């Protein structure tokens, strides 16, 4: 089938990261995908090799839209996270859906959440009463953590990839010369208020910590907290070693998560990848002005049956309360790891997002023909 996937970039690492993984995984299963994006610059480092059967189109270019209007409409149109595709493309899709022989499916891929409403709304139809798509039906598709949702993005061979992975060799290629007794920590975050305190505790602690800091906001936040100059690649402070990383392709970011003893992640895409890594991790959720992210965070902690220590750390890291963060020791990390691996095992037993998308689309197409 031919898919049009529309993505409006708000956070290069988040919305575009999810959409690229979706497009690439659909293509890997034989689908043909046009990824329409308003700013695809991050794909130069996120997915430098591209993907066969995935065409990236800048929807801000009138010529690209005009060319698409002279080609057949897609079999499946996906609006990622409620973005608004070009009205001419919607009108073309609607016209061919009404008059063409091939059935067409219109989906709205929603944000990931563990909140109860996701199960209620997943796959619900939404009749379109006005605009260029008038008369058609759009379906909501919700990723999630239960069998009553659309599942999570996951490669079919992910477990085999991890079984074949050589952690030490990969770290050496990345220039990470790890001391045998160091705790290896990944930091991919926004600007958490608790960061400076955590860095100070690691500096003055009794155990070695090597902090691998991702490029961008996380790197800037660490430089600000330590008072170091932006662009300084490495810093030694007491028991803390800080190493700033370059921008990493998705494949390498995944392997970085597999390599570290503790992962700090942010946003939707890295949350899912941290779960698949099976290592203890802390999630910084995207903050909302009305504090709705507090409910979303707690729902996710409930979903993985997080131990009390992991809940407290998340609340402090996300600024929900004024508690300071305490660096987790070996016993605490072991309890976090057990919770993550139990959640990971349950999720591996569920169908992944692409499998469920393909099944749902096929069911809609059969119903249309009948």
Q: 351, 149 in Cβ contact below 8 A?
A: no
Task: Just list the catalytic residues.
Answer: 15, 268
Q: Give the count of beta carbons closer than 10 Å to the beta carbon of residue 367.
A: 10
The CA angle 336-337-342, to the nearest 5 degrees, is 105
Per-residue model confidence as pLDDT tens digits over 28-74: 999 999 999 999 999 999 999 999 999 999 988 999 999 999 999 99
**Reported confidence tier of residue 312, pLDDT bands at 50, 70, 90:** very high
More confident residue, 302 or 13: 302
Question: Do residues 71 and 115 share a domain?
Answer: yes
Q: Residues 113-144, buried b or exposed e (16+ Cβ, 10 A)?
A: bbbeebeeebbeeeeeeeebbeebebbbbbbb
* pLDDT (average), residues 181-193: 96
In this structure, what CATH number is given to the domain that contains residue 140?
A: 3.40.50
Q: How far apart are CA 216 and CA 360, in angstroms?
A: 38
How high is the pLDDT of residue 14? 84
Question: Do residues 198 and 314 share a domain?
Answer: yes
How high is the pLDDT of residue 321? 84
User: Hey, what are 234's tokens?
Assistant: 């490495």
* pLDDT (average), residues 341-350: 96
44 φ, ψ to 5°? -60, -35
As a dihedral over the C-alpha atoms of residue 84, residue 149, residue 122, residue 75, rounded to 10 degrees, the angle is 50
Q: What percentage of the chain has pLDDT greater than the value 90?
A: 89
Instruction: Name the average pLDDT for the chain.
Output: 95
Q: Hey, is 165 helix, strand or coil?
A: coil
Q: Hey, is 82 helix, strand or coil?
A: coil
Question: Do residues 164 and 139 share a domain?
Answer: no
Domains in the chain, number:
2
What is the domain extent for residue 123?
A: 2-153+352-369
Question: Do residues 206 and 328 share a domain?
Answer: yes
Per-residue model confidence as pLDDT tens digits over 210-229: 999 999 999 999 999 999 99
**Reported confidence tier of residue 12, pLDDT bands at 50, 70, 90:** low
Q: How far apart are CA 174 and CA 252, in angstroms?
A: 9
Question: Do residues 101 and 238 share a domain?
Answer: no
More confident residue, 291 or 354: 354
Question: Do residues 130 and 206 share a domain?
Answer: no
Question: Do residues 186 and 324 share a domain?
Answer: yes
């Amino acid at each position: 089938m031919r898919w049009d996937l529309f993505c409006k970039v708000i956070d290069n690492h988040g919305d575009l990261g999810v959409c690229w993984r979706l497009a690439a995984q659909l293509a890997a299963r034989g689908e043909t995908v046009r990824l329409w994006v308003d700013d695809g610059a991050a794909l130069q480092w996120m997915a430098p090799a591209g993907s066969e059967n995935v065409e990236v189109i800048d929807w801000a270019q009138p010529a690209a839209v005009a060319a698409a209007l002279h080609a057949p409409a897609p079999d499946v149109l996906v609006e990622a996270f409620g973005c608004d595709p070009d009205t001419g493309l919607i009108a073309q899709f609607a016209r061919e859906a009404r008059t063409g022989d091939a059935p067409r499916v219109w989906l709205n891929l929603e944000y990931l959440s563990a909140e109860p409403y996701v199960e209620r709304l997943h796959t619900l139809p939404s009749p379109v009463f006005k605009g260029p798509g008038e008369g058609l039906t759009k379906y909501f598709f919700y990723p999630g953590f239960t069998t009553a949702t659309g599942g999570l993005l996951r490669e079919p061979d992910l477990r085999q990839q991890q079984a074949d992975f050589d952690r030490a060799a990969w770290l050496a290629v990345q220039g990470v010369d790890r001391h045998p007794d160091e705790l290896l920590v990944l930091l991919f975050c926004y600007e958490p208020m608790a960061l400076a305190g955590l860095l100070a505790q690691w500096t003055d602690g009794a155990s070695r910590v090597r902090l691998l800091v991702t490029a961008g906001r996380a790197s800037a936040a660490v430089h600000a907290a330590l008072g170091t100059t932006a662009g300084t690649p490495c810093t030694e402070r007491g028991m803390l070693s800080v190493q700033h990383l370059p921008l990493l392709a998705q494949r390498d970011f995944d392997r970085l998560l597999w390599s570290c003893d503790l992962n700090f992640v942010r946003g939707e895409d890295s949350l899912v990848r941290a779960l698949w890594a099976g290592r203890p991790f802390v999630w910084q959720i995207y903050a909302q002005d009305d504090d709705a992210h507090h409910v979303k965070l707690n729902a996710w902690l409930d979903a993985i049956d997080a131990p009390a220590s992991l809940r407290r750390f998340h609340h402090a890291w996300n600024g929900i309360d004024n508690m300071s963060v305490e660096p987790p020791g070996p016993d605490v990390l072991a309890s976090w790891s057990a919770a993550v691996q139990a959640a990971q095992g349950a999720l591996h037993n569920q169908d992944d997002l692409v499998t469920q998308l393909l099944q749902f689309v096929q069911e809609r197409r059969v119903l249309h023909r009948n």
